[in-house]
Structures are given as C-alpha cells and as structure tokens.
Amino acid sequence: MTDQIDNAETSAPETPEAEAPELDMEQEPAAAAPASVTAPKAEEAPKSEYQVLARKYRPKTFDELIGHGPMVKTLSNALESGRLAHAFVLTGVRGIGKTTTARIIARALNCIGPDGKGNATIEPCGVCEHCRAIAEDRHVDVLEMDAASRTGVDDIRELIEGVRYRPTSARYKIYIIDEVHMLSKSAFNALLKTLEEPPEHVKFIFATTEIRKIPITVLSRCQRFDLRRVQTDELAAHYKRIATLEHADIEDEALALIARAADGSVRDGMSLLDQAISHGAGKVTTQQVRDMLGLSDRSRIFDLFDRTMKGEINEALELLGAQYALGGDPAVMLQDMLDLTHWLTRVKLSPEAANDPGVSQIERDRGKEIAAKLAMPQLTRAWQMLLKGLEETRIAPSPIQAAEMILIRLAYAAEMPPPGDLIKKLRNDLNKSGNAPQGGGGNGGGGPGPRMQVVNGGGAAVAHARPDPLGEPEQAPQQVYAKLPETFAEVAELLSKERETTALAIQLKNYMHLVKYEPGRIEFRPARGARADLSSQLIKTLNNLTGHRWLVSVSEREEGAPTLKEQELEELEQRKADASLDPLVKAILDGLPKAKIVAVHLPPGQEETEGEQDDSGSVYDDAFYLEGDDEL
C-alpha cells in the first residue's frame, strides 16, 4: 500500500497529460497507510498539482478492485489454465471500474515480472517496463480508442490494418475500446470478421454502459463480464479508508449518506467525498453532507410519513413546507418517503431487517413502531401512489404544489379499507339481509336493490353488481374462463373467440416468437411489426378473460420458436409436399405441367384415419385444389 501511494503521488507531477484520460475511474487502497507516508508529500506538492481522489486512488491491481470478485476469479482461473479469451466486454453503470479493469487486464497479460522472465499473471508486478508504461498510458502496444469520438467505419479499418502486425515489445497487442456501443452499424460489421478470428497476438477489451445497443453478433464473439453496482456498506467502508488516508474526520452517518447517494458507482461517491472534505475543511458532519446533497433530515421524513399515513394532513403539509423552506427538494423528499415505504415493507415481512448494522438506532426504533401500525395493503398502496406521484412532481411546473397534492391524496387513501375487507363486509351484509347471491347466476331475494353475483374462475372471484331497474341499463358481465390455456396455441384460440380481442389474437399469431410458456406466464420475442404495447395489452386482456394474474415478458437474448402463423404455413407446405407424392395427384400434375397445388383439405372424418388409402390408392380424393391450366 505504501508503494502504491508513493507511485500515485510521485508519478502524477511527471506525467499530468498522460493521466488526463483517466478521469473516470477510482482506486481502493489495500490497507490504511500510516499518516507519515502521505502527509509530508501532501505538504510539499503545490496546490495547482492536486489530484482528485478518483484519480489518486485508482486501482492498479485486481486486489484493489472492490465488488468484482466473480470476474477476478474467472480471469485468475483462465490465466492459470491458459484458457484466455481473445475478446472481453465489460459492462456496468458509470464509475464502476470498466476502463480501470481493462487497463489492469492489459497489465496482467503483458507483465514480465521484476526479473523480466515472468509470464501472464493475475498479480502484475507494477515495476516492470510494461506495467509502468501501461499505468502511465504510454505503451505502444496497448491502444485505447474512444468510440464516442471515433464511430465511423474508417476508424475501424485503421484498427484492422494494425492488427496484422505483431506487437513491438509486449506479449500481446491489446485494443481497449471505450463506450463501444457508440460505434456505427457499418463499423460493427467491419469489425466482425477480425473479432471472430484475430491473430494470436491480439486481444480486444470493450467497455460499455449500454450493453443492449451492441449487436448480438459482437456479443457472441466476446467473453462478457457484468460489473455489478457496489453495495452501500462496502462503499462506505471504502470511503472511510480513503478519508483516513486524507486525514479527514468524517462521521459514519455522513459516509453512509455519500455511499447511498453514489448509487453503486464508486467514482460518483469519490467525487462527493472530495466535495465533502472541501466543504467541511477536513471535518465533515452529517448535517453538512445533508446540506451539500440537498437531503432532508431523516427523522423529519419519518415524521412526515407517519403524519400522512395517520391522516393528519395539516401537520404533514406544515412539515413538508418547513423542509422546503430549508432547501429540501420536493422530489427528493418524496423519493425518501418511497425508500422508507420499501424499508418498512421489508420490516413488516421480516423484522430482522431492522437490525441491519447500517441502520441507525432512531431509524430502527421508529421503523418498528410505524411498521407495526400499518397493514400490508396500506404499505403497497402507499408505494404505488408515491411512485406515481414522484413522476408527477418531476414534470410539474411547481414541484412543491405537486408534492402537497400527493400527500393529500395519500392521506385520504390511507384511511380507506382494503378491497378485500369491502367484499367481505358486503357479503356479510347481504347474508344478514337475506339477499345472499344464488347459484347459477340467480339474483337472490326480490326488490329493486343492488344484487351481487360471484363468478369463480382461475383462482379469483369477480363480483358483478346489478343496478336498480329504474337506473341505467345493466351491462353484460364479461365471461370468465375457469380453466387456463394449457398451450400457447390455446391462448390464441381463446383470444379469437371474442370480437374485442380478435386484433390482439392476430398480433399474437403473426408477431410473437414464443420463448417459454406456462399457464399464467408467457415469455416471447417480438417480431418486426409487433405493437409496442403488445405485452401490456396481452396481460390486461388475459387477466380479464381468465380471472387469473398473468406475467408476460419480452426476451431480448432468446430467438424463440417460429410464430404460429409461420408454423401454420410450414404445416401447409408439408401437407402440399405430401399430397404431391400421392399417386393420383402425381398423375394429374404430370398431365398438367402448369398446374400447382394451392391448398390441401382432408375430407370429413379423414383426420382420424389419415394415411389409410381407399380402393383408388389415394387419401386426397376430392380433397385438394389445383391451379394452372384453363382446362382445370
């Protein structure tokens, strides 16, 4: 760790321009170094040469990376067994370590050890010529390309021309292409052949934040690593080590706020930490970080949520106005309430969640108290309303007015009983008054009052109320099918039965490549020409038709089976081919050269005895149509 910090600080003044492209990564120290290691050099270095924390503590080895254990293990085993891929693609959110990881891989592949005789290793020495040159971004055989500024096919042609030549001094010639998803379609196509069969001395490393924009033909030729977001507690521990090395006194709760605001991005959190140290002049409190980030007091969020859910809307609006006057962002406050709703739901389901080490004592006590008062339907309803309200607040002309309306809506809805309780109460009232629903769709007792009919099907109950005969005319209840379709074809048949769903049935037959089907669940790949809202419309329609909750998802990686329409056409072609082999049909086709089979229809009752011939030797007698000569 001492050598690492010395290298980071002594090399920075010598090559400031070489390190300029490295603004997007972070470095984790292996262990807390003594204060005497960094303090003297920090005093000697001029202020103009200050390095931001994201560059100063950029990882130089795999051991210094945080949160990427599976990738490191895979690469370690590959190096030990000699099963190295020729191309890698690294994907993840911004600031997670993609470019830094690519450079570490380049060092690992080209390291020759301190004695100059070493092989590729998962632990690059950091002192050999290649390690130092790659770290300083001046190695002639490690070429970095920014696809955001070089997107054309001409840039890729230049790269392909250089692939043919062997490396000048290193073991491998390595091409690192950052933001590779921004290459044009022509550039990707030009790269395909070289990427599939590159020379043995060439390795490709791609980095991207938009993996879905990369063609599948490119992904299939690469070894993919998904760099996950770093957990909040892991980030907080990492930032605490950095603060210790920087001789900054920061409260643990302040570090937790920074880690939470980083949203899994190490670089984002390092930038916030750098700002917090400057803001607090070396001593940072939780309140200072809240002010810097524009966050509201956590205890006030508990009060605001508690008052709202109790229906005390006047007190809730006063709390909201007070936080807004102190600089709180209405959207951020609703986001905090949304996070609190999620956490309270977890505490409701599993009380052990309140004992998480990252939760403060006040949050633990208040969380258990509020969760015990609220029922699960209230929490789920609050989540839906806050989620919708957060979107409204962000686009509203006056965010504070929108936030107030959300709280009013939530306060009045919080006192409403769950729909299940309403149905139970209605049933009990009907039973007490002698108007219980009758079987077979009967109306129960007489009189002009409302009647209820309960239709069971698919594991759900649908209630239909008949209005007063003197009022509006009754609408026919929608039919609910008791049995779920067993196959995908039965789903299409079910949709075809109703006039209102015929168009959806056509979409299902023509534009859905089935990936997986289970009763109540469909996974498909949409074909060209499919409606954008096909999955949502299918969910809504099937829910109404079957009385069962359906899950319809879109797959982007699986090709799926042919569409039902393609299967029908394929079956028709097969039947036409079989018909052409029939002796009678073959004789007709030979006698009429211009004739062709258009359709094949088996005679009634022939489906069960298909393949059995009559006296003429033909199973297609009077069951096919020919098209061609006029004499037909």
Tens digits of residue pLDDT in 607-621: 544 444 444 444 444
How many Å apart are CA 529 and CA 511, to the nearest integer?
A: 7
pLDDT tens digits for range 415-461: 676 666 777 777 777 776 655 444 444 444 444 444 444 444 444 44
Tokens 């006047």 belong to residue: 314
- Cα–Cα distance measured from residue 161 to residue 206, given in angstroms and rounded to the nearest whole number: 18
Average pLDDT rounded to a whole number, residues 203-219: 91
- pLDDT, tens digit, for every residue of 521-530? 888 888 888 8
Token pair in block for residue 223: 């070894």
**Contact between residue 90 and residue 205 where contact means Cβ atoms under 8 Å apart:** yes
DSSP-H helix ranges across 281-418: 286-293, 298-310, 313-325, 330-349, 361-373, 376-395, 399-414
As a whole number of angstroms, the distance between CA 247 and CA 576 comes to: 83
Q: In 91-215, which residue ranges form alpha helices assigned H by DSSP?
A: 98-110, 129-135, 153-163, 185-196
Q: How many whole angstroms separate alpha carbon 209 and alpha carbon 503?
A: 38
- Rounded to whole angstroms, the Cα distance separating 233 from 516 reads 38
Q: According to the model, what pLDDT value does residue 606 have?
A: 55
Question: What value, to the nearest 5°, has the Cα angle with vertex 460 and ends 458 and 465?
Answer: 120
Q: Is 591 exposed, middle or buried (0-12, 13-18, 19+ CB in 10 A)?
A: exposed
How many CB atoms lie under 10 A from the CB of residue 3? 12
> For the whole model, what pTM was predicted?
0.51
Question: CA–CA separation, 222 vs 89, rounded Å?
Answer: 6
- Per-residue pLDDT at 204: 94
Chain segment 102-145, per-residue pLDDT in tens: 999 999 999 988 888 888 888 888 889 999 898 888 899 999 98
pLDDT of 400 reads: 92
Amino acid at 96: I
Backbone angles phi, psi at 336, to 5 degrees: -65, -40
Q: Measured between alpha carbons, how far is 84 from 75 in angstroms, rounded to an integer?
A: 8
d(CA 621, CA 129): 85
Would the pLDDT of 401 be above 90? yes
Range 29-42 average pLDDT? 36
Tell me which DSSP letter residue 417 carries.
Answer: P
CA dihedral of 480, 481, 483, 484, whole degrees rounded to 10: -80
The pLDDT > 90 percentage for the chain reads 12
pLDDT at 385: 92
**Mean pLDDT along residues 28-43:** 37
Q: What is the largest CA-CA distance in the chain?
A: 108
Q: Which run of H or E residues covers position 419?
A: helix 419-432
Q: Residue 107 in contact with residue 130, Cβ under 8 Å?
A: yes
Contact (Cβ atoms closer than 8 angstroms) between residue 205 and residue 105? yes
Per residue in 385-396, pLDDT (tens digit) is 999 999 999 999
Output DSSP code: residue 553: E
